[in-house]
């Protein structure tokens, strides 16, 4: 049934999404994201070469903002420590929170927003696969970068291996720097807040969150500026591809669902021990005989009683109830 909309209210989606189908889907995509980072580690030498190539390109274009930001974060703990917490946590808190908010309060926009995010994430995984990149913090010390996560590790749960908790650094691919999905996901959150947030605070957060995240990923030496640019480009590509992805998903569902329902109906019929469906007006036996549906006779007060006639009209008295 098509969705309807009345003034002052949001449209109700034609197909209502359920959290018990959405949650496994999101967890599956995130599992693929994590597994891709783990499986496709790439060659360390190639990753270092790619990182140095990006750094040289930025210097040639006068885009090297990482060095001054990293020196500031290292010199000023009151900036560096909050930045490390920002990098290590908000990426995994704000994005799910926005998804839940959209699901609960902006359901008509949720599917398109979720598809955009997931499509962009898969594109980012392709980038990690094809271009393993050493982040600035893992370059040789003579390049002038300090790993602030390791420098301030006594303040947080992380160690010297990105934002992973101590002892779990081996579970992450530290050379998945290009593109920066920290920036990409923050941009997605900002767009959702700007489009669907109704308060001034929401609009402010829509601008501040992706902007500060971009500064944080460079100041903590986790990403180059061009990694952030690539994160924005990935989100743009995902936005363009999302309608196509939804169209193919709808086609696949339209083809697969009738087959599943038909198979389920056959299995249910076989398991019940009868192949004879109920038909309009009666039933069929296994031999093909039709048994008409029984109807409850209407009460009559006499052989020639008309509808609405009283017992006296029919010349008879109503039968006494059985005792």
In a domain, 293, yes or no: no
Cis check for the bond before 179: say yes or no (omega within 30 of 0): yes
**Residue length of the chain:** 323
Residues 169, 159 contacting (CB under 8 angstroms): yes
Confidence of residue 271 (pLDDT cuts 50, 70, 90): low
For the chain, what percent of residues have pLDDT higher than 70?
A: 63
Helix (H) or strand (E) holding 19: helix 19-39
pLDDT tens profile 231-262: 999 999 999 999 999 998 888 878 876 666 66
DSSP state of 90: I
**Position with higher pLDDT, 260 vs 205:** 205
Quick check: helix, strand or coil at residue 282? strand
- Residue 17 resides in a domain: no
**Does position 296 have pLDDT exceeding 90, yes or no?**
no
Counted domains in the chain: 1
Q: At what angle do helices 181-196 and 107-130 cross, to 10 degrees?
A: 160
Q: How far is CA 260 from CA 19, 45, 215, 266, in A?
A: 21, 49, 50, 10
Question: For residue 267, is pLDDT > 70?
Answer: no
Spatial separation of the C-alpha atoms in residues 237 and 243, rounded to whole Å: 11
The residues that bridge with 83 in the sheet, in sequence order, are none
In a domain, 35, yes or no: no
Cβ proximity of 115 and 29 under 8 Å: no
* Residue 185 to residue 195: CA distance in whole angstroms: 15
Kindly report, residue by residue over 152-184, the tens digit of the pLDDT: 988 877 765 555 555 444 456 678 889 999 999
User: 229: number of CA atoms within 13 Å, CB side?
Assistant: 8
Rounded CA separation 233/64 (Å) = 19
Angle at 144 between CA 174 and CA 64, to 5 degrees: 85
User: For the chain, what is the mean pLDDT?
Assistant: 77
**154 inside domain:** yes
Residue 304 pLDDT more than 50? Answer: no
Question: Is 0.75 topped by the overall pTM?
Answer: no
Predicted confidence band at 64 (pLDDT cuts at 50, 70, 90)? confident
Answer whether residue 200 shows pLDDT above 60.
Answer: yes
Q: Domain for residue 261, yes or no?
A: no
Q: Is the pLDDT of residue 298 over 80?
A: no
Number of Cβ atoms within 10 Å of the Cβ of 252: 10
State pLDDT tens for residues 90-110: 988 999 999 999 988 888 899
User: Is residue 231 in some structural domain?
Assistant: yes
Q: Does position 299 have pLDDT exceeding 80, yes or no?
A: no
Domain that holds residue 128: 44-254
Q: What gap in Å lies between CA 73 and CA 240, rounded to an integer?
A: 36
Structural contact between residues 208 and 163, judged by C-beta atoms closer than 8 angstroms: no
As a whole number of angstroms, the longest Cα–Cα distance in the chain is 117
- Residue 171 has what pLDDT? 52
Task: Tell me if residue 185 falls in helix, strand or coil.
Answer: helix
Question: Would 95 be classed as within a structural domain?
Answer: yes
């Amino acid at each position: 049934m098509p969705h309807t909309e009345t003034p002052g209210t949001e449209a109700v989606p034609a197909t209502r999404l359920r959290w018990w189908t959405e949650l496994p889907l999101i967890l599956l995509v995130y599992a693929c994201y994590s597994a891709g980072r783990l499986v496709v580690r790439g060659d360390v030498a190639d990753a270092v070469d790619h990182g140095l190539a990006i750094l040289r390109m930025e210097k040639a274009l006068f885009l090297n903002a990482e060095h001054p930001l990293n020196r500031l974060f290292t010199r000023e703990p009151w900036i560096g420590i909050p930045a490390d917490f920002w990098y290590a946590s908000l990426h995994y808190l704000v994005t799910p929170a926005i998804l839940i908010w959209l699901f609960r309060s902006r359901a008509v926009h949720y599917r398109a927003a979720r598809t955009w995010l997931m499509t962009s994430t898969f594109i980012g995984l392709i980038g990690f696969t094809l271009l393993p990149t050493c982040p600035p913090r893992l370059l040789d010390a003579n390049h002038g970068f300090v790993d602030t996560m390791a420098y301030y590790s006594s303040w947080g749960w992380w160690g010297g291996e990105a934002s992973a908790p101590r002892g779990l650094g081996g579970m992450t691919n530290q050379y998945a720097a290009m593109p920066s999905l920290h920036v990409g996901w923050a941009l997605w959150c900002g767009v959702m807040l700007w489009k669907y947030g109704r308060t001034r605070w929401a609009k402010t957060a829509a601008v501040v969150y992706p902007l500060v995240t971009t500064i944080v990923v460079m100041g903590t030496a986790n990403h180059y500026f061009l990694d952030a640019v690539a994160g924005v480009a990935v989100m743009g590509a995902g936005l363009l591809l999302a309608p196509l992805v939804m169209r193919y998903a709808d086609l696949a569902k339209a083809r697969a669902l009738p087959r599943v329902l038909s198979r389920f109906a056959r299995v249910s019929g076989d398991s019940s021990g009868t192949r004879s469906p109920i038909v309009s007006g009666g039933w069929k036996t296994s031999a093909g005989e039709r048994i008409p549906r029984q109807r409850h006779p209407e009460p009559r007060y006499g052989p020639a009683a008309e509808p609405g006639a009283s017992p006296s009209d029919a010349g008879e008295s109503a039968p006494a109830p059985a005792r």
